[in-house]
Amino acid sequence: MHARLDDVTVQEALAALADPVRLTLVRELASSDDWTRSCGSFDVPVGKPALSHHFAALRAAGLVEQRDEGARRVNRLRREEFDARFPGLLALVLRGD
């Protein structure tokens, strides 16, 4: 289930982005085309259960949308929707400085 962005608070969004693994996932999604990255394609130092937890946190914060394509679960960054809800926040996070 994906979050309705109207229900997401800025505190929830910031909490999701504060985790280094989740930040890596968001940054990699930002540099990828929509629906091209499966969950297992990210180079992060966590196992499958932890990776599932991180994606659940990103979905709950309204940052990521997922869908199943056969045996794969693919992802997209909800950039436009997130920017409409929290203007400029994602751009600051993606800058990395």
Q: List 69's β-bridge partners, or say none.
A: 72
SS3 call for 73: strand
Q: How far apart are CA 62 and CA 74, in angstroms?
A: 16
- In the structure, what pLDDT confidence band is assigned to residue 97 with cuts at 50, 70 and 90? low
Residues 42, 54 contacting (CB under 8 angstroms): no
- In the structure, what pLDDT confidence band is assigned to residue 2 with cuts at 50, 70 and 90? confident
Residue 83: CB atoms within 10 A of its CB come to: 13
User: Does the structure show a pLDDT above 70 at 73?
Assistant: yes
Across 51-77, average pLDDT = 96
What CATH number was assigned to the domain covering residues 5-95?
1.10.10.10
Across 61-75, average pLDDT = 96
Domain assignments of the chain as residue spans, ordered by start = 5-95
Token pair listed for 9: 């608070």
SS3 call for 23: helix
